Structure 1
């Protein structure tokens, strides 16, 4: 029974790690790593892809080579699923290691559970996070970075450098953030580490000589390039972050500051906390100087502000300690405690639906409260408590209501949205559940402790069983890799434009194994390659009419309840398929709309379990649609004109 009681927190932590971040397939940046690995395997095919025509961010990592080695022997769907699970466990194992190094015994488990249930997002637009639930090089690089910091604290400097070096080889940006923290810690221990800045000299020499990846070190982002970058990659520049983004940054900094007041001044944690706060200033300052002011391409791409992932990690790990220290004060101050909960609950990055701007009032109030609380009456304190609780309730309601709207928009399908995770995964809900179970566990005897152990094992088994939450469409796409789904041979040197209501390059890359003509995902990393920005905008204009009309047809089909009641106008297809000056047209294109002619192949994607038709896709060859004169023009009316069954060509201007 004692054994069952001892394993309860371990199994429950693993269950939460698995349950709260289910696997949804090859998506987000995982698609980019897939393309990079496929390029290693078939360079003659993928060198034609927009993502690689002007170079790519793959030049800065060895991860695609490692991934390609696995893809040569195993299906992509299996590799990405298994490797995602592995990297997530690595991240939390590394977090546990660093927590064991830094935190006293009684605060270790609270720190671990806080990291699990609290939001992992940092930076701008709620698109950056550590321990991502899809496969990239970032989680494993973050894990190695955390291990490196732990090794550094334990004075194993050589091993720390090795771990950080491997992390840099996998994902330089995440490793750079941890390296700034490590350097600040070393300088605080011994000022002679300032001489490490001399390493900048050989880097500058390589930049001047334009050697390999350092060629963009002194390349200035010109106005035309900057205009394109700001359309899709403005998160690189701090001056373009929104107020809500800075609210999240301020929240993390304030929580780290409060954390610093809890730890013993002579502890390793106190020293590393100072290094984290110094690295915060260094990283943001370097970003402002090199990206926003000097506008240098490679330093802007280095995104020094990514040090925020380490800052956020410390803020979330230290949150339970901050709450416990505040709760232990006598006399007990409910307002001060709930203030911290409200700051963490609203200021942490939970999509774009909570109330981070509330911290602009909550943080100053939290700072001033110790000085004014004695002068505030009981009635006023009660009123303030009601207000703070109301803020938390409103934030929770906004989040759950927005999630419900998304769920309804996706057909209320639990196969597409894990609504249970959305509801229970909100930090206030998950955190309250963890706190309740921790309270019960702390007061449990042998029998109750054993029961909790059994319950945790059941929870872990259920979480693992449910972890693979890929939608039917994701499963079909991943299972169709390399298959001749259209019954038409597409030559290896072809480029394919694949229109989909939910943009993803997986169709050309994974299903057809061919270069993608254009997809918004291919613009990632454009700050490293000027050519990508301009080639991308040219191709985006080339497919512009088809993309616009496709969105119109999606709406028409949804309203009519029929998947084939609308199709693209001929003028738009002629425009896309006729080369314009030096801009080549795609060789093939795929649409979810059946045109009245020139259909080369049909793919009926069916539910892998029920056989239900998920959607039909049609393959076309651009040479069948190109303007014979070699010059295609399209007027404003034709740009928006689609064809609808039972009617004339419709203008949706």
Structure 2
């Protein structure tokens, strides 16, 4: 009897083989998201913690004095707790990696719940495809799902994905069966936790709950009631008084606040989204819609809920922001539901490709005949549209062509299409895809070719930016997802190095995980110990404002003082009118002394610091107490103190083929010590 049991090494090898696809997929997922440090929105959340630690210094920055955003999330408190325990820089990295691990695990569970009969290798390929093809959503081409920095969005997304997976569990909620109280409690808890971390990200989870749990009658009642309430709120807000002190449910943006948002730009205003942004949204919606016949049951219901929520979110955002200018709904930003559409759409795309692959093999007729040829062309065009998203809004026209071909292919029409024509079409489309990948890589390498640090051209971070690793992963993921087809399955059966490959990829992931520049590492380290640069300002008040040119968190981290101006401060201006007004006043002041081609739309910038600019900036009633700029941008006649950084900072060229800027030292100009200083009252 004992001899019939498998040996321990055999069982261990089987288990290693079973887990290898997950380990490989997770490692590749993290490799494509190396840690870059305190960047993007992480700068603001780290700032919230620094402001809490130093309320009389950093806390006096206008973005924290007029804070209308952080109170909606527990994430700043979580980062504060972790930062006090292990250090703020380490805490930001730990929270970022934890969120990505949770995100991938939740996505893996959701894919398993959607396709339980799918093998682990196919599941790994499907998930890598979905997280490598195109992760942008919304406007301004700036927000991704599964982001690799310390911010609440990835963690909230992961909890919503877990809630969706719980709603699809085949063993607990069979088609037609009611959900258990345990399931509903777990789903409710996950969505509540996600809301506590980032309330704007939970709409897809709520939509899935409303679509899957109630009966059709209750579903219609809930949806109709919600639509009526929102319509009433919008209609009443159209007649409500507009004023800076209006804070009711029906409050709208007053003319001054709205003009600032329009002039300086805000991601919350859909009217300012570009053609590429709308092409992305249309392609994601269309891909989900075209793939709808490939799934059924609860999976189709989940996709329907995601589609309906996405359309409703975009429509409500447009009505609230650009038509009625409703304050609360604009700040809620219902369009953020698009993160779920952006994740589901690539899954839907690959499921169509995989289904076409299998039909080409198992079709009773030769695959060269009938609609399959036309469907191949349609799928190739759809893939081309996805690869075009980052460069042109013309992806919409390619999408239209793909939809038309797919509609004809799925009809019962008799189609005569030559094999040579199809091969030529597929070849041309393939060449265009390769060209797009090469062009993106060329643009990146052209910029880094002139980088002063030659090693920066070959670090993993540069390769990821070029998009070449993503292209390679997409090819492998496509093959892995088609393992159900007999030719590929036979090849995979012959190769069994999976555990060894998993170990090697995991080791590479650990080695390449931290891709911060030397300057970013040095700057992050200053959050955990007093900066030596503070010695320059020993006799300066801790609440003295600093206008640091081209700065992110430098005034807060290096000088422990509030920043006077910068693009980062204007980011949350949609949440607080006072912040928007003060920031706009300072932006208009710098615009007066800055060349129009130098000033960026959402940044307070100075090209040079000379006597004339200092006279305008420093003498202004609410001007800064100090101006900090690279030494080569300060006039020789301007007195300043010098402070040197612990690592060189490299700023990319502002124009094509321009030189990189190397900053190793800054000059500190104290406005009160400037000759002729006379601040107006």
Return closer, same or farther for 1:184/1:288 CA change in 2, 3 Å cut-off: farther
Pairing 1:52–2:64 present: yes
Shift of 1:187: 5.2
Deviation by residue 1:214-238 (Cα, 9 ceiling, x = unmatched): 9363222233322321244443233
Q: Deviations over 1:578-615 (max 9, x none)?
A: 124xxx1112221112554432341243369xxxx951
Q: CA RMSD in A?
A: 3.4
- The SS at the match of 1:108 is helix
Instruction: Give the counterpart of 2:544 among 494, 498, 503.
Output: 494
Q: 1:46 to 1:630 in 2, by over 3 A?
A: closer
Aligned equivalents of 1:135 and 1:25: distance in 2? 9
| 2:200 aligned partner | 173
Map of 2:276 onto structure 1: 244
- Asked if the contact 2:212–2:298 (Cα under 8 Å) also holds between the matched residues in 1, the reply is no
Q: 1:478 to 1:103 in 2, by over 3 A?
A: same
- Residue aligned with 1:229, SS: helix
SS at match of 2:202: helix
Gaps of 5+ in 1: 553-565, 633-653
- Inter-partner Cα distance in structure 2 for 1:231 and 1:542: 15
Q: Residue in 1 aligned with 2:604? A: none
Match of 2:172 in 1: none
- 1:41 maps to 53
Deviation, structure 1 residue 460? 1.2
Determine the C-alpha separation between the residues in 1 that align with 2:384 and 2:470. 7
User: Is the CA contact 1:486–1:603 (under 8 Å) kept in the aligned structure 2?
Assistant: no
For 1:42 and 1:539, how far apart are their aligned partners in 2? 24
- Deviations along 1:427-456, whole A, 9 cap, x unmatched? 44321133456769944688831x232122
SS at 1:133 equivalent: coil
Q: 5 Å matches for 1:512-527?
A: 512-527=559-574
1:340 maps to 379
Deviation of the 1:95 alpha carbon:
0.8
| CA shift in 2, pair 1:250/1:195, >3 Å | closer
| Larger deviation, residues 196-205 vs 490-499 | 196-205
- Tell me the equivalent position of 1:163: 190
2-side partners of 1:229 and 1:534: how far apart? 10
Displacement after TM superposition at 1:535 (Å): 0.8
Of the three residues 454, 463, 466, the one matched with 2:512 is 466
Q: Does 1:255 align with 2:287?
A: yes
Within-5 A mapping of 1:130-141? 130-141=145-156
State the distance in 2 between where 1:271 and 1:112 align.
20
Match of 2:476 among 413, 416, 433: 433
1:75 to 1:39, Cα distance in 2 relative to 1, 3 A: same
Deviation at 1:338, TM superposition (A): 5.1
3-state SS in 1 of match to 2:321: helix
Q: 1:37: how far off?
A: 1.8
**CA distance change for structure 1 residues 234 and 485 in 2, over 3 Å: closer, same or farther?**
closer
Deviations 1:477-514 (A, max 9, x none): 112333122522242212111112xxx42101222222
Bigger shift: 183-192 or 129-138? 183-192
SS in 2 for 1:480: helix
- TM-score, length of structure 2 as denominator length: 0.80
Unaligned runs of 5+ in 2: 1-12, 170-178, 600-606, 650-661
CA contact (8 A) 1:345 1:427 kept: no
Q: Which residue of 2 aligns with 1:422?
A: 465
Displacement after TM superposition at 1:360 (Å): 4.1
Q: For residue 365 of structure 1, what is the aligned residue in structure 2? A: 404
2:328 aligns with 298
Q: CA deviation at 1:355?
A: 6.1
Residue in structure 2 matching 1:400, options 441, 457, 472? 441
Structure 2 residue 575 is matched with structure 1 residue 528: yes
Taking the aligned partners of 1:6 and 1:185, their CA distance within structure 2 comes to 31
Q: In structure 1, the residue corresponding to 2:318 is in which secondary structure?
A: helix
Q: Give how far 1:462 is off.
A: 0.9
Are the structure 2 counterparts of residues 246 and 232 from structure 1 closer, same or farther at C-alpha, using a change threshold of 3 Å?
same
Question: What is the DSSP-based 3-state SS (H/G/I as helix, E as strand, rest coil) of the residue aligned with 2:294?
Answer: coil
Which deviates more, 297-306 or 322-331?
322-331
TM-aligned CA distance change 1:595 to 1:310, over 3 Å? same
Distance 2:488 2:26 in 1: 17
**Alignment check: 8 A CA contact 2:448 2:456 kept:** no
Distance 2:488 2:63 in 1: 52
Pairing of 1:316-327 with structure 2 (within 5 A):
316-327=346-357
Q: Distance in 1 between matches of 2:598 and 2:452?
A: 18
- Counterpart contact for 1:588–1:621, Cα < 8 Å: yes
Question: Does residue 620 of the first structure (1) align with residue 669 of the second (2)?
Answer: yes
Aligned residue for 2:658? none
Change (3 A) 1:579 1:462: same
Aligned pair in 2 of structure 1 residues 479, 229: CA closer, same or farther (>3 Å)?
A: same
User: How many residues are aligned here?
Assistant: 603
Which of 120, 123, 133 is the aligned partner of 1:108? 123
- 1:473 alignment partner, SS class: helix
Higher mean displacement: 509-518 or 486-495: 486-495
Distance 1:233 1:146, change over 3 A: farther
Cα gap change, 1:621/1:176 in structure 2, threshold over 3 Å: closer, same or farther?
Answer: farther
Is contact 1:124-1:245 (8 Å) kept?
yes
Over residues 55-88 of structure 1, what are the superposed CA-to-partner deviations in whole Å (9 max), with x where a residue is unaligned?
3311211111111112223332211112111111
> In the TM superposition, what is the alpha-carbon distance from 1:108 to its structure 2 partner?
3.2
Deviation of 1:414 (Å)? 4.5
* Contact 1:247 1:360 (8 Å CA) reproduced: no
